Amino acid sequence: MKRIIQIAALFLAFIAPGVVQAQDRATTLRVVVHANLQILDPVWTTAFITNRHGYLIYDTLYGMNSRFEPQPQMAEGHEVLEDGLLYRIRLREGLRFHDGSPVRAQDAVASLRRWMTRDAMGQRMGSVTSGIEAVDERTFEIRLRERWGLVIETLGKASNPAFIMPERIANTPSSTQVTETIGSGPFIFVRDEWRPGNRVVYRRNPDYVPRAEPADYMSGGKRPLMERIEWLYIPDQNTALAALNAGEIDYYEAPPLDFITSLERNRNVRIVNIDTLGTQGLIRPNHLSPPFNDPRARQALAHLVRQEDYMRVVVGNPRLYQRFCGAFFQCGSANDTAVGSEPYQQPNIERARELLREAGYNGERIVVMQPTDRPQYNAATAVLIQSLRRAGVNVDVQAMDWSTLLSRRANRSPPDQGGYHLFITTHGGPDTAAPVSNTWFNSRCERANPGWACDMELDGMVAEWARESDPAARRPILERIHRRAWETLPYIPFGQYTQPIAVRSNVHGIVAAGLPVYWNIEKR
């Protein structure tokens, strides 16, 4: 009892005095989130926390279902005309913004134009778009210069989607953060209770009109059942876990993976997997510097990877990871294929040594950046270092915190002048599951992410895949892409795992949407 009282007192230090007593616990959901919400504009940043904030207060034209097919959301439907060069989209009736104004086609047009200047997949669509114009209050058109088969998929993408804002707000240049947070989504941001670094509050939107279909991933009926959502930022994981066990919070969106087993022993806590795809780990070589500018050296890296070795130290619990995943575009997705991965499903140290010699490696220092403050990344990097040394590589381990690594990985200088050879990171979600939207798969040389994968032949295949709208016709293109990728290796996958959430046992209706969403949830 004394321990519970101490936990409650510590928890209450994170929230405003009197809030717990003043709110009905049955209609308030208290959530510990993974990061501090500082930026409110989901176009201006790609931060996960802002994206999740966006899903609470905004809505999207389309949403992905659990088969990763785009379904109408704010849209009533669409027509494809003029041999695929014109998309005519009509909005549902009765949509209103939080200020009471109706959602119009003009709002959608302005929102799309702003979003397309920032989002990577939106930019790709923008490069083949000649215009977006309103036809009437509920209808607008997207006109293309050439056929492009991913228009609706782009409008329904799950990460950093095209949230619809009022026209007057969406007219803000994308280089400037919006100052108003008015959407048409299921919850309303309560600005006067926002305490950056502490608490964010949302209240139910009484005017929200959900779709009639059942909620399915990011599509279907988003029913706001809780009167109030409170996000709490508690950076100390032990404090957050203790608060969950004591019942002071209802929902913990990213419990440490090594605590899952102990949480499962608490009959008042449930572990829920909301992500059917999961997270992928990747080793990113610097394609600018020898030896990894030679694909044979990157193939050598792939021959050194036993994915289960990485998963044991990163995740630990075999129920949360796959023993091997050979798909660049997420095992379990519509684009799941292991074509080309066959030579790499078991380590081959001798072949790795041979390939390194062929690539011209002769014992030079290989700079590996090791993040000290990200336990999972730190552990995975240790496995990488061990495997390199086993193959006779002269490894120069350079330890640093994650923020320093993020800055340094953008340095194009040679490794002995402040650059690097290798680092580890992760990615996941439906955007990772498609060649055109997988950020780290982008192989467009200087336009690629740090590491600067450079294979314009592979990029041409991705462009061909994007132009094709028939899923059946896309499949052979995908397999050519995948075979080529395992030859030139923009990155080396080291495994796929899931990050479950933890909730109190009285929390029900959680939607497996790939990321935390708060519609359809109730406490009983």
Whole-angstrom distance, CA of residue 27 vs CA of residue 378: 40
Predicted local distance difference test score (pLDDT) of residue 348 = 97
3-state secondary structure 63-90: EECCCCCEEECCEEEEEEECCCCEEEEE
To which H or E segment does residue 38 belong?
A: none
Q: In what order do the strands lie in the sheet with 394-400?
A: 394-400, 365-371, 422-428, 279-285, 492-497
Question: Which tokens in the block code for residue 305?
Answer: 């990877």
Question: Which tokens in the block code for residue 421?
Answer: 């050879």
Predicted local distance difference test score (pLDDT) of residue 182 = 97
Q: What is the pTM of this model?
A: 0.76
Domain boundaries along the sequence of the chain: 2-57+185-272+501-523, 62-170, 279-497
Half-sphere exposure of 380 (CA within 13 A, CB side): 29
Q: What is the DSSP letter of 324?
A: -
Predicted local distance difference test score (pLDDT) of residue 523 = 95
Architecture of domain 2-57+185-272+501-523: 3-Layer(aba) Sandwich (3.40)
3-state secondary structure 237-276: HHHHHHHHHHCCCCEECCCCHHHHHHHHCCCCEEEECCCC
Give, in order, the Cα–Cα distances in Å from 421 to each of 14, 99, 390, 448.
Answer: 42, 52, 17, 16
To which H or E segment does residue 402 belong?
A: helix 402-408
Torsion angle of the four alpha carbons 140, 146, 151, 154, in this order, in degrees rounded to the nearest 10: -120
pLDDT digits (tens, 9 = 90+) for 279-310: 999 999 999 999 999 999 999 999 999 999 99
Question: Which tokens in the block code for residue 266?
Answer: 């608490």
Tell me the CATH number for domain 62-170.
3.90.76.10
The structure tokens 């708060």 sit at: 518
CA 438, 57, 109, 91 dihedral sign is positive
pLDDT digits (tens, 9 = 90+) for 323-367: 999 999 999 888 999 999 999 999 999 999 999 999 999 999 999
Predicted local distance difference test score (pLDDT) of residue 147 = 86
Question: In the chain, what percentage of residues exceed pLDDT 90?
Answer: 69
Predicted local distance difference test score (pLDDT) of residue 255 = 86
Q: Are 380 and 369 in contact (CB under 8 A)?
A: no
Predicted local distance difference test score (pLDDT) of residue 139 = 98
Tell me the CATH number for domain 279-497.
3.10.105.10
Which stretches in the chain have pLDDT values below 70?
A: 1-23, 46-47, 403
pLDDT digits (tens, 9 = 90+) for 454-463: 999 999 999 8
Predicted local distance difference test score (pLDDT) of residue 382 = 97
